[in-house]
């Protein structure tokens, strides 16, 4: 199979760095100025995918942006003994602001920006900005709780798969 020279030229020229930065910053600013109904939640915004990894090859590709809720999280307690689970559950607090409400508020904030066209996808929010289209993934932390004896293996696992944003909590 022969690849045309024109296709090779497209692949050889990375996408515009300015466009993805502008799209990312415009979404960040919209969320910063949004009047959150229950006060501003603890969240972070970061890039994911080809722009984050500097591997984009098409000038018309979209930017992948993650908006992660940190004040609410899913948890995995399966690696803990019954006693450790009971002890931990005494100290964990329940959040009244959950992921579903956070996602709703993110969509509402993005729709408030007149220069954006926003549509809900199956797994992400599709946002057409004046700069570049963006796929916005609204997520929450996942915390894996382990005993000290298992911590080393899980730490190395986390370092290999940093994109999943798994926080490992060591119970001593």
Mean pLDDT computed over 66-95? 73
What is the residue whose two structure tokens read 């986390």? 158
Separation CA 162–CA 127 (nearest Å):
25
Element housing 162 (H / E)? none
Residue among 163, 156, 142 at smallest CA distance from 77: 142
Mean pLDDT computed over 113-122? 90
**What is the per-residue DSSP string for 64-96?**
EEEEEEEEEEEEE-TTS-HHHHHHHHHHPPPPS
Are β-strands 43-48 and 63-76 bridged in parallel, bridged antiparallel, or unpaired? antiparallel
pLDDT at site 164 = 43
pLDDT at site 157 = 45
Q: 43: which residues sit within 8 A by CB, 6+ positions away?
A: 31, 67, 68, 69, 70, 71, 102
Q: pLDDT by residue (tens digit) across 29-55? A: 999 999 999 889 989 998 886 555 555
Phi, psi torsion values for 168, nearest 5 degrees: -100, 125
CB 131 within 8 A of CB 109: no
Whether 27 shows a pLDDT value over 70: the answer reads yes
DSSP 2: P
Residue among 126, 100, 131, 124 at smallest CA distance from 111: 126
pTM of the model: 0.69
Lowest mean pLDDT among 50-64, 83-97, 105-119: 50-64
pLDDT at site 26 = 93
Whether 161 shows a pLDDT value over 60: the answer reads no
């Amino acid at each position: 199979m022969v690849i045309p020279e024109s296709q090779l030229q497209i692949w050889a020229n990375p996408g515009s760095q300015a466009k993805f930065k502008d799209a990312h910053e415009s979404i960040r600013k919209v969320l910063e100025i949004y009047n959150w109904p229950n006060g501003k939640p603890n969240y972070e915004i970061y890039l994911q995918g080809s722009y984050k990894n500097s591997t984009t090859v098409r000038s018309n590709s979209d930017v992948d942006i993650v908006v992660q809720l940190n004040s609410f999280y899913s948890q995995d307690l399966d690696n803990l003994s019954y006693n450790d689970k009971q002890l931990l559950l005494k100290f964990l607090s329940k959040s009244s602001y959950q992921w579903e409400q956070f996602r709703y508020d993110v969509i509402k904030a993005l729709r408030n920006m007149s220069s954006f066209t926003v549509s809900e996808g199956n797994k992400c929010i599709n946002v057409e900005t004046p700069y570049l289209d963006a796929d916005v993934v609204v997520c929450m932390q996942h915390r894996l709780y382990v005993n000290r004896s298992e911590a080393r293996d899980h730490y190395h696992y986390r370092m290999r798969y940093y994109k999943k944003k798994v926080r490992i909590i060591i119970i001593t």
